[in-house]
């Protein structure tokens, strides 16, 4: 039972970051390969503040998110005006630079050996409640005028610009929100696993989050959530076939993306899904 709780808690924490990628990629069509680096920035900052300097955990969380927002603003200011393919390359470069910083700052971060002795402060309750709050925020954004502008920008940014939408400002806001989600998830992860290292925040992690969005369905919030649960849990499910685990994992992703272009749950919308769920329960009671 403890094993399943540990795995589900870790998945809930990572899904907080995936929700940010849903905003970036699913709603705005932006491919950031540096989101995992923001997760690392939040994780390392909070860990260093608490363990090395004795800062209270809530204060460390706030400082970590604020620092991440400052860095994200600088990165966004330099990259959000360029073409989207160059934006992906620029965020990839940023992510690699951050990994280098985490690895080379041995006295602060522990270098390649990682940062240890982190107290376990994150609880399953905190992780799941945090995920619930983040889901509500993303759901609210999707239903707002701001969210509809996001879809317009993703569909045709020139048409959106001609209709009066400030594309740069809009993308900056989304980029900051997604980065804050990643930083907070990094803090929760560090104080749950009690150990972090730079390899946990490489660019392939960011790619995995993007794959999750398309696997579940980029137009569906519930699709991204379900896709995330499946893909994040699948490596654990396939432990019985260790030598085939990576192959089966990749084949599953390729099959779904090719057979279902809209994703595994691409046609499911959260409000309709919830309505159908409660309608079914009511019918069962009657």
Residue 247 scores a pLDDT above 90: no
When the pLDDT of each residue in the chain is averaged and rounded to a whole number, the result is 87
Residue 83 scores a pLDDT above 70: yes
Return d(Cα 121, Cα 50) in angstroms, integer.
11
Band of residue 266 on the pLDDT scale cut at 50, 70, 90? low
Q: What is the mean pLDDT of residues 192-199?
A: 94
CB 203 within 8 A of CB 36: yes
| Predicted confidence (pLDDT) per residue in 127-173, tens digit | 999 999 999 999 999 999 888 888 888 888 788 888 888 889 999 99
Q: What is the mean pLDDT of residues 36-48?
A: 97
The β-bridge partners of 196 are 115
**Per-residue 3-state assignment (H helix, E strand, C coil) for the chain:** CHHHHHHHHHHHHHHHHHHHHHHHHHHCCCCCCCHHHHHHHHHHHHHHHHHHCCCCHHHHHHHHHHHHHHHHHHHHHHHCCCCHHHHHHHHHHHHHHHHHHHHHCHHHHCHHHCECCCCCCCCHHHHHHHHHHHHHHHHHHHHCHHHHHHHHHHHCHHHHHHCCCCHHHHHHHHHHHHHHHHHHHHHHHHHHHCCECHHHHCHHHHHHHHHHHHHHCCCCHHHHHHHHHHHHHHHHHHHHHHHHHHHHHHHHHHHHHHHCCCCCCCCCCHHHHHHHHHHHHHHHHC
Crossing angle of helices 167-193 and 57-79, in 10° steps, is 140
CB 36 within 8 A of CB 205: yes
Q: What pLDDT sits at residue 91? A: 95
Band of residue 267 on the pLDDT scale cut at 50, 70, 90? low
């Amino acid at each position: 039972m403890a094993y399943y709780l540990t795995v589900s808690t870790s998945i809930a924490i990572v899904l907080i970051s995936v929700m940010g990628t849903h905003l970036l990629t699913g709603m705005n069509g932006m491919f950031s390969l540096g989101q995992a680096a923001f997760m690392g920035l939040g994780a390392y900052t909070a860990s260093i503040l608490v363990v090395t300097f004795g800062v209270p955990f809530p204060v460390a969380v706030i400082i970590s998110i604020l620092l991440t927002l400052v860095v994200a603003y600088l990165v966004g200011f330099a990259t959000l005006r360029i073409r989207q393919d160059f934006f992906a390359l620029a965020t990839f470069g940023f992510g690699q630079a951050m990994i280098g910083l985490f690895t080379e700052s041995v006295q602060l971060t522990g270098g390649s050996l990682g940062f240890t002795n982190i107290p376990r402060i994150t609880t399953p309750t905190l992780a799941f409640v945090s995920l619930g709050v983040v889901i509500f925020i993303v759901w609210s954004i999707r239903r707002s005028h701001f969210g509809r502008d996001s879809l317009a920008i993703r569909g045709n940014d020139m048409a959106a610009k001609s209709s009066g939408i400030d594309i740069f400002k809009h993308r900056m806001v989304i980029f900051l929100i997604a980065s804050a989600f990643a930083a907070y998830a990094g803090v929760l992860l560090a104080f749950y696993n009690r150990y972090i290292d730079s390899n946990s925040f490489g660019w392939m992690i960011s790619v995995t989050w993007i794959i999750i969005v398309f696997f579940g369905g980029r137009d569906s919030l519930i699709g991204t959530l379900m896709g995330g649960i499946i893909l994040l849990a699948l490596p654990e499910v396939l432990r019985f076939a260790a030598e085939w685990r990576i192959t089966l994992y990749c084949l599953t992703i390729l099959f779904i993306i090719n057979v279902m272009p809209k994703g595994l749950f691409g046609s499911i919308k959260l409000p309709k899904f919830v309505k159908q769920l409660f309608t079914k329960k009511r019918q069962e009671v009657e």
